[in-house]
Structures are given as C-alpha cells and as structure tokens.
Structure 1
Amino acid sequence: MAQAHLEAVLREAFPRAEIVVEDLAGDGDHYRARIVDEAFAGLPRVRQHQLVYRALEGRMGGELHALALETAAPPKEAN
C-alpha cells in the first residue's frame, strides 16, 4: 500500500485528525502512524486501535503488512 493511499484512507475516516504516516522500511509495507483525534477521547488504547483497524477495512495483513500505531485524543485546553 502506498503511503499516500494509507494516509488518504486514514484522513477519510478521521477528517479532523492530526495524522502523520512514516514508511519505516521504505518498502511500502511497514508504516508508523500517529493519529490524534477527538474520536479517541475517553477510550482505552485497544478501542482506539480498533477504530483505526476498522477504518482500514481489512487491508491489514494483505495490502498492508505492518502498522505501528500511536493514537491519542488532543490535550484538553486550559480554561
């Protein structure tokens, strides 16, 4: 899966998110993605990652071999 395609899929699922995708091996198969989105607020890490995998619609293990995920909700603003 091309890096641009992976990023587009993630941006479609999380349109307001801060997303950074890095190709770890230069082979189009091993990526790291950092996604910061309100959708993750209050969710445990496992649930956050499940939302990302759902957005990938079964591409993991086929089109996409490895994806290291870092997910978070944006920090709360101080009043």
Structure 2
Amino acid sequence: MTARAVMLVLWPAFLVAGVISAIVFAFVDPLEVTVLGVQPFEREYFYAVSFFFFWILTSLSSLMTVLMLPNKSFLTDSDPQF
C-alpha cells in the first residue's frame, strides 16, 4: 500500500472517530462508567482510549472498503486520474 492509500484510509477514519467520540461523550460521562463496581480510569484516559478504539474500528471499515474496490489504479502515486 502506498502512502496515498494509507491516507485514504486513515484520514476519513480519524474524522469519523472524532465525531463518534463527540456523540458518545455527549451522553456518557466517563466517571460514571464502572467495571465490577470499580471506576478503573480517569476521565482524560478514558477519552483517549475510547477515541483510539473508535479510530481503529473506523480504520478497519475504511480499509475493507479500499480492499474491495474493483479498480485500485488510483491508489498508486503516479498521475492520479479522479
């Protein structure tokens, strides 16, 4: 995979992960999340881990889309034809 293909996967995934994080944490307070009655994380740590979790999930989704494309010629760095 070229650098162009990697950016086609990671950049949209980054933006969507940010939107998902904003939506989720508009409704969920990280300090109220408990595991077996114990609050395991501080607020900032929970935000960061959740964002990276969402980013990984959306990156996998974007990667699957790129891998299923029938014509992958636009992924090369030579003279893109959009």
- Which structure would you say has the larger RCO, counting Cα contacts within 8 Å and 6 or more residues apart? 2
Per the TM superposition, whether the score is higher than 0.5 is: no
| Structure richer in strand, relative to its length | 1
